[in-house]
């Protein structure tokens, strides 16, 4: 679990703002849910026999001996909220986005933490497979727009209720005779949840798994047609993608298309997955709600930040003006001037301590202030001062009373540099 300090927090803030603005363009609205939920919600929602539920949840008893869990993801919480507030009765289609900390007891490494931040979206009420394509296109736009390098979009289908028994049979017929080549956990999973063998972290890359039958080959015609329609929509949207038959994702609720967006950025180490998502048409009903098709994804914020080019400092907001003070009277006047300029929406830096002019300019440079103005006895007497552009070094004389307008290019309501 990490502290996130400036300047890293600035990079995180910019990334988060980008996501919000983009998702709102697609009609998603924010939902916030508690960090704690009843353990049963995740066990039922994510699946009893999954790595998350078996090994990774922070679970404890509260003072009344109720088992609670710190959310390892938000889809189950969104589904609970959707049912609890009968949202489906109020509107045919619901689009939510969320942002917040999640908790998983995982082995830590670059890009993998025990408290990490996810931003995600969930869309309820649309069965048409164009929604998953729209979500993927939105994500590619997000990462492309931010300059994240070497992206790849992987898609697959895990099939629905009709496909599962057939695939399970084919998979068991293949895996059972080869069980001795699997890890102890997977040998147990053969009896409980064989699909989970496919995304076992221990057996990943093993020869046994490499030869396993593919879900795509077991799909009914209807499921295959839905998958093809989603792929076609991706092509229509100009999104390049690769069908990855081994992609099954580590959560049990998926029913149709699943997807992952990865970046080959070396900053990510082995944790290349920026986003994971997919369709889960049976989850709402299985949790006690009305039959409701749904599809969504979550992205890892820390991984997004790692893959985002540029030093964290370049994401810090630059002050519009550093007021450099010379003498006590100037400092008193500067306090009031800075206050009124900040009310106009400007970012103003001010040195409260009695330090020299040179040191103040040094600080203005360090903070990458866009402009500086020296306030001393002369400026106080004349009501005028020299506004220095800190990039070009050029100075021009301005009336102190007009500073807000001067800094915003005549429009004192605007915010230059934003
Ligand atoms: P997930 O694949 O478990 O899916 O997580 C989504 C993303 O969260 C991952 O691709 C990764 O970027 C990030 N992530 C996961 N675990 C960690 C960790 N320990 N440290 C840092 N980042 C991590 C879900 O959570 C589903 N709820 C997604 C979804 C929403 N499916 C449908 N709707």
Q: What is the pLDDT of residues 321-357, one digit of tens each?
A: 999 999 999 999 999 999 999 999 999 999 999 999 9
Is pLDDT at 415 greater than 90 in this prediction? no
pLDDT of the residue at 246? 87
For residues 409 and 403, what is the distance between their CA atoms, to the nearest angstrom? 10
DSSP state of 353: S
Rounded to two decimals, the pTM is: 0.93
Using most ligand atoms within 8 A of CB, pick from 72, 73, 110 the residue to mutate for ligand 1: 73
pLDDT of the residue at 52? 93
C-alpha to C-alpha distances, 275 to 10, 74, 121, 296, 314, nearest whole angstrom: 21, 14, 11, 10, 25
Question: Is 395 exposed, middle or buried (CB count within 10 Å of its CB: 0-12, 13-18, 19+)?
Answer: middle
pLDDT of the residue at 410? 62
- Tell me which residue has its CA closest to atom 18 in ligand 1: 112
Q: What is the pLDDT of residues 271-298, one digit of tens each?
A: 999 999 999 999 999 999 999 999 999 9
pLDDT of the residue at 275? 98
Indicate if ligand 1 lies below 6 Å from the C-beta of 104: yes
Indicate if ligand 1 lies below 6 Å from the C-beta of 129: no
For a pLDDT cut of 90, what percent of the chain falls above it?
86
Is pLDDT at 301 greater than 90 in this prediction? yes
Closest CA to 137 of 275, 9, 336: 275
Q: What is the pLDDT of residues 164-195, one digit of tens each?
A: 888 999 999 999 999 998 999 899 989 888 98
User: Using an 8 Å Cβ cutoff, are 375 and 325 in contact?
Assistant: yes
Indicate if ligand 1 lies below 6 Å from the C-beta of 56: no
Question: What is the pLDDT of the chain when averaged over all its residues?
Answer: 94
Is pLDDT at 203 greater than 50 in this prediction? yes
Alpha helices in 193-293 (DSSP H): 207-210, 221-236, 283-286
Over residues 58-83, mean pLDDT: 98
Is pLDDT at 413 greater than 50 in this prediction? no
Over residues 132-148, mean pLDDT: 97
For residues 227 and 156, what is the distance between their CA atoms, to the nearest angstrom? 8
Indicate if ligand 1 lies below 6 Å from the C-beta of 275: yes
Closest CA to 137 of 268, 236, 229: 236
Indicate if ligand 1 lies below 6 Å from the C-beta of 261: no
pLDDT of the residue at 42? 97
User: Using an 8 Å Cβ cutoff, are 401 and 383 in contact?
Assistant: yes
For residues 351 and 359, what is the distance between their CA atoms, to the nearest angstrom? 10
pLDDT of the residue at 271? 92
Closest CA to 193 of 175, 177, 219, 211: 175
pLDDT of the residue at 329? 96
Over residues 100-108, mean pLDDT: 96
How is residue 19 written in tokens?
A: 């996501």
Indicate if ligand 1 lies below 6 Å from the C-beta of 256: no
């Amino acid at each position: 679990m990490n502290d996130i300090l400036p300047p890293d927090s600035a990079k995180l803030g910019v990334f988060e703002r980008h996501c919000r603005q983009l998702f709102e363009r697609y009609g998603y609205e924010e939902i916030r849910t508690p960090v704690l939920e009843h353990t049963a919600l995740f066990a039922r929602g994510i699946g009893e026999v999954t790595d998350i539920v078996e090994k990774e949840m922070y679970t404890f008893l509260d003072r009344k001996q109720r088992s609670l869990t710190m959310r390892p993801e938000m889809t189950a919480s969104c589904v609970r909220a959707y049912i609890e507030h009968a949202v489906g009765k109020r509107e045919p289609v619901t689009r939510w986005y969320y942002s917040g900390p999640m908790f998983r007891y995982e082995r830590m490494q670059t890009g993998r933490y025990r408290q990490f931040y996810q931003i995600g979206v969930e869309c309820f009420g649309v069965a048409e497979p164009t929604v998953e394509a729209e979500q993927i296109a939105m994500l590619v736009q997000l990462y492309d727009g931010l300059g994240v390098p070497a992206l790849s979009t992987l898609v697959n289908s895990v099939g629905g209720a009709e496909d599962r028994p057939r695939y399970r049979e084919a998979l068991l017929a293949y895996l059972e005779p080869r069980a001795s080549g699997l890890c102890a956990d997977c040998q147990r999973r053969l009896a409980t949840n064989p699909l989970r063998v496919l995304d076992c972290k221990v057996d990943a890359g093993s020869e046994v798994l490499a030869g396993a039958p593919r879900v795509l080959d077991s799909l009914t015609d209807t499921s295959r047609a839905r998958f093809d329609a989603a792929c076609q929509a991706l092509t229509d949207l100009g999104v390049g993608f690769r069908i990855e038959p081994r992609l099954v994702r580590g959560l049990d609720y998926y029913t149709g298309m699943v997807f992952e967006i990865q970046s080959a950025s070396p900053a990510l180490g082995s944790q290349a997955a920026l986003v994971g998502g997919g369709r889960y048409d049976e989850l709402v009903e299985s949790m006690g709600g009305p039959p409701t098709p749904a599809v969504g994804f979550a992205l890892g914020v820390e991984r997004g930040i790692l893959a985002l080019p540029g030093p964290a400092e370049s994401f810090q907001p630059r002050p519009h003006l550093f007021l450099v003070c010379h003498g006590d009277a100037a400092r008193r006047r500067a306090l009031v001037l800075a206050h009124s300029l900040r009310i106009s929406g400007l970012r103003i830096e001010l040195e409260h301590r009695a330090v020299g002019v040179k040191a103040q300019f040094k600080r203005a440079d360090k903070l990458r202030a866009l402009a500086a103005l020296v306030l001393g006895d002369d400026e106080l007497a004349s009501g005028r001062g020299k506004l220095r552009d800190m990039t070009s070094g050029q100075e021009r004389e301005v009336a102190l009373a007009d500073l807000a307008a001067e800094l915003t290019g005549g429009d004192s309501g605007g915010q230059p540099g934003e």
